[in-house]
Structure 1
Amino acid sequence: MSKKLFALLLSCVFLFSLSLLGCSKSNAPAAQILKVGSDTTYAPFGFQDEKTKEYVGFDIDLIKAVAKQAGYEVQLQSMNFDGLIPALDSGSIDVAISDMTITDERAKKVNFSKPYYKAGLSIVVAAGNTSIQNFKDLEGKKVAVSIGSTGADEAHKIKNAKIVEFNAIAEAFLELKAGGVDAVINDSPVNEYYILHEGSKTAKIVGEPLNSEDLGIATAKSNPELGKKLDKALAEIKANGSYETIYLKWFGKKPPQ
């Protein structure tokens, strides 16, 4: 065999090897996309970072960790809280995570994961308000809530109260600051985050939390297998320490056992 023919064969082998390598890369299974809906006005669960403009928060980090564990990549969609369950029902999103309390009424429409956080409702009032100390004192008052929330459900039970519903809880806090309402009823961790980062001089939390509520990741009734996969992944990140790391990052303490 001539040197020229040998060199030609060697080049062919090299090019063939490269083509196989390229095929192996292109044929590698890509992670499936998980369309996730979230109301990104609920800091610290989900909100938009002012500097980066990216959506961040406990729920955002959690669903990304759960999705990765289950073999998915997250495609996040920001939407109003009351639109999450209809979006699941229509198939425009696969998952909803947004400080969503597991309730019997919601469980009729969607499937919930095992609880991933325990919350409760509390009252926020103006810093100088001394007339409201507990839920009983809200009778006859003007109360702001987020539409479709458990806070709204409880507010509607208050005798003679005028309930003002907002698409985003941030709007309710702004209305309180402006003096348009007497109080805001909302999830305790969101209220605490607001007081700590924005409302420390203008607002305060009063009374004891009304109740204890479990938060869950919601999936469509038509896709029970996805719910099972996410439940399994949630249990795995709790076991491997990832959940605790995320919890510490956003709440500054370890999750309750």
Structure 2
Amino acid sequence: MFKHKKRWIVSLVLMITLVGLAACGEDEQESKEVSSQGENAETEATAWDALKEKGTFTVATSGTLFPSSFHDGENNELTGYEVEVVKEIGKRLELPIEFVEMGVDGMLTAVKSGQVDAAANGLDITEKRLEDYNFSEPYKYSFGGIVVRASDDSVVESLEDLKGKKSAGGATTIYMQISEKFGAEPVVYDNATNDVFFRDVASGRTDVILNDFYISNTAVNKFKELGVKMSDIYYNPTSAGILLKKEDDSIKNKIDEVLEELHEDGTLTKLSEEFFAGEDVSKPIEGIDDLPVVELDQ
């Protein structure tokens, strides 16, 4: 009798032990699964997720570049083609936009350091910049132009004539690089408005302004009385996009989706014609590839 009872007790102990071990195994497996899910969630977090969590899209722009980014109206409101494109992107992504105004020379650094999330100010998409930054798909196509004194038709008749001329602009722009490549003397401005540039050319303080043709031409027509005009020299086809930090493509992809919508529903064309005196800069220009291209190191 005692032998049977002893066997029964041993069996019961073994059964309890096995059940306990099985429970521990299940708990350990469940713990591993939860840990794995947490690691996967952390791994899959994107720059877009972080931006949405932050809740505001900060975008650098000049606020001084008519008609792309400038202050207008009774309330001195920030507006312009690129400003309104960014506002529309924010609206469709349900993401509030906060503009941070600064000179072009500081924008690239501000994006790289994380001071701002992006920059929109006629920033040309170049192979060199693509090594260090992300760009959205283009929302503006143009080419290089030159602003000269209206009273002097012989300031420049070719890019080679830039040698020795005083060229006004931002220190790190593509256009200042072109000026210096042809021997011009750089005269650097810190986020000045169009009229300041134009008055200095008219007065002889500087000689030329190399910049985007459509921006320059629209501004020259607005400020006709300041004594400047466009030269007949055109060069370097360009495309401009929103400049982003070199992270994953999640923010770029979201912006590109909206830009495609803005192309398809005609919003980009409408905004372009509003700010560029009827010109549609949102589409590639026919025959643009025939223009001369100035090769740059950066």
Helix, strand or coil at the partner of 2:236:
coil
Which amino acid in the other structure matches residue 179 of structure 2? Answer: A
1:241 counterpart residue number: 266
Contact 1:36 1:96 in 2 (8 A): yes
Q: Any idea what SS the aligned residue of 1:212 has?
A: strand
Specify every segment of 5 or more residues in structure 1 that has no aligned partner in the other structure, as ranges.
1-28
Q: For 2:209, which of 174, 181, 184 is the aligned residue?
A: 184
Q: The residue matched to 2:230 in structure 1 has which SS?
A: strand
**2:157 aligns to what SS in structure 1?**
coil
Tell me the distance in 2 between the aligned counterparts of 1:100 and 1:108.
15
Q: Mapping of 1:144-159 within 5 angstroms?
A: 144-159=168-183
Q: Which amino acid aligns with 1:142?
A: K
Match of 1:116 among 120, 139, 142: 139
Deviations 1:73-120 (A, max 9, x none): 211111111111111112121111001001122212210011111121
Q: 2:197 aligns to what?
A: 172
Which residue of 235, 248, 256 corresponds with 1:210? 235
Task: Label 1:83 to 1:201 Cα distance change in 2 as closer, same or farther (>3 A).
Answer: closer
Task: Please show how residues 77-156 of structure 1 align to structure 2 within 5 Å.
Answer: 77-131=100-154, 132-156=156-180
Aligned with residue 40 of structure 1, among 63, 78, 84:
63
**Residue type of the partner of 1:197?**
K
**What amino acid does structure 2 have at the position aligned with 1:79?**
M
Matched residues, percent identical?
25
Deviations 1:234-255 (Å, cap 9, x if unpaired)? 1112112222221221121344
Shift of 1:30: 10
Residues 31 and 244 of structure 1, relative CA distance in 2, 3 Å threshold: farther
Q: 1:229 aligns with which of 230, 254, 264?
A: 254
Q: 1:219 and 2:225 equivalent?
A: no
Higher helix share: 2
Name the CA shift for 1:142/1:31 in 2 (closer, same or farther; >3 Å). Answer: closer
Whole-angstrom CA distance in 1 between matches of 2:126 and 2:53: 35
User: 2:8 maps to what in 1?
Assistant: none
In 1, are the aligned partners of 2:157 and 2:233 still within 8 Å (CA)?
no
Q: Following TM superposition, by how much is the alpha carbon of 1:202 offset from its aligned partner in structure 2, in angstroms?
A: 0.2
Q: Aligned equivalents of 1:223 and 1:178: distance in 2?
A: 48
Residue of structure 1 equivalent to 2:83: 60
Change (3 A) 1:50 1:71: closer
Under a length normalisation based on structure 2, what TM-score does the superposition of the two structures give? 0.71
Amino acid at match of 1:81: V
SS in 1 for 2:76: coil
1:166 partner letter: Y
Mark the structure with the bigger radius of gyration.
2
User: What is the deviation of 1:219?
Assistant: 1.0
Report SS of the residue matched to 2:100. Answer: strand
Distance 1:31 1:92 in 2: 13
What is the RMSD of the two structures over their aligned residues, measured on CA atoms? 2.1
Residue 125 of structure 2 aligns to a residue in which SS? Answer: coil
1:253 corresponds to which of 266, 279, 284? 279
3-state DSSP of counterpart to 1:72? coil
Letter in 2 for 1:46: S
CA distance in 2, matches of 1:122, 1:60: 22
Per-residue deviation, 1:31: 10
Partner SS for 1:211: strand
AA aligned to 1:183 is V
Task: Measure, in 2, the Cα distance between the counterparts of 1:243 and 1:145.
Answer: 27
170-179 or 98-107, larger mean C-alpha shift: 170-179
